[in-house]
Structure formats: structure tokens, C-alpha cells
Amino acid sequence: MDHRDHARRLRSPVQDRRPRSRGDGEDTYRMTKRTCGSCSLCCKLPYVRELNKSIDTWCKHASPGRGGCLIYPDRPSSCRGFICGWLSGADIGDEWFPARCKMFITPRPSEGLAKKGILVTVDPAYPNAWRRNPYYPQLLAWAQHMLVEIRVGRRFIGLDADGTERQVTRTQAWIEGREE
């Protein structure tokens, strides 16, 4: 099996239950399928402990735009378990396709129930991608009811519901998902 076969498996669809309003106040659910397709941003932005891959650098096993992961059947557990918000379909619109918007959304690492929210990881080659329409208004709307943090490189920005931004300090251990 060559790397294209592995890539096809990597790009397999994730099924998602998304509500669709019937107009009478009741929601019905439809199954949608999304695939990674041409996107490999998850091979660039996150830290991968098992591969000693730094944030915001391409994984040495990635083949962006040419088939995905070259070690797909043997990829590390952190890669196996990663699903971005767009792929999961968690009420994320098509405009959030990571290869198009240059960022991906994940749940924030849990720091207790009161601090749940989302982390928007932005490709540092496009540092202002999160400030563009339609993304910024959606981030503000989410900030009304959850914590919203944006990571651009090693900079973390907390976005408040009123649009104010605050610098958030994160340690290297936090970025890497390690105990401090």
C-alpha cells in the first residue's frame, strides 16, 4: 500500500449530527460528512510529542497537498486522536474549513468546568486570519457564552464578548500538553 492509500484512509469522512430547523421550533437532525480533503493544517500547527515536532512547523511525515500523512498506519496516538472543530462538524460552518480560513478550532484543554471554551490556532503565516469576516463576528458571538482563546505562534489572545483582547500567558508545558 503506498502513501496515497494511507491518505485516502486519513481523509475518510466523519459523520456528524447537525440540527436543521423545521421552522416550527423543533429541530430535526441530518447526517453530514466532511473529509480533510486538501487540508493538512493539523500536520503543521500543533505540537506532536511523539515526533518531537514543534508548533507551527510542518511534520517531516506530512505531504501537504500531495496526499496527507506518509506514516498514516503508524502515526502517533496524538495524531490519531486529533479532530478539528470543522471536521467534527460541531456547529462549525463550511467557511471554517482550515485550509481555506488558515486556522482550526479545538476545545480548550480542560482547566476545570468553569474554564472550558475553544482554542483557535492560527497559521502564523496568516496572523490576522481570525480578524477577518466572517470569522471575527463568529468568535465574538462565541465569546458571549464561552472562553475564546486565539493562538498565533507563541502568542495567546483572550477574546472577550465586548471585543476587548487580553494577553494570555501560557507556558511551554501548556502548549505541549504536559503537566506543569
Run of H or E residues at 156: strand 155-159
Q: Report CA 5 to chain centroid distance, whole Å.
A: 24
Whole-number pLDDT of residue 8: 35
Contact residues for 56 (Cβ-Cβ < 8 A; gap 6+): 44, 45, 123, 124, 153
CB atoms within 10 A of CB 46: 24
* DSSP code for 140: H
Q: Give the Cα separation of 80 and 140 in Å (integer).
A: 31
Q: Which of 92, 98, 125, 106 is nearest to 36 (CA)?
A: 98
pLDDT digits 0-9 by tens, 43-82: 999 999 999 999 999 999 998 877 688 998 999 999 999 9
Q: How far is CA 22 from CA 3, 92, 128, in A?
A: 43, 19, 37
Confidence of residue 177 (pLDDT cuts 50, 70, 90): confident
Q: Is the peptide bond before 76 cis (omega within 30 degrees of 0)?
A: no
Backbone φ and ψ for 43, nearest 5 degrees, come out as -90, -5
Whole-number pLDDT of residue 27: 42
Whole-number pLDDT of residue 30: 42
- Give the mean model confidence (pLDDT) for residues 126-149: 95
Q: Which of 116, 20, 6, 114 is nearest to 61 (CA)?
A: 6
- Give the mean model confidence (pLDDT) for residues 99-122: 82
Higher pLDDT, 4 or 66: 66
Q: Is 79 exposed, middle or buried (0-12, 13-18, 19+ CB in 10 A)?
A: buried
- Give the mean model confidence (pLDDT) for residues 31-37: 74
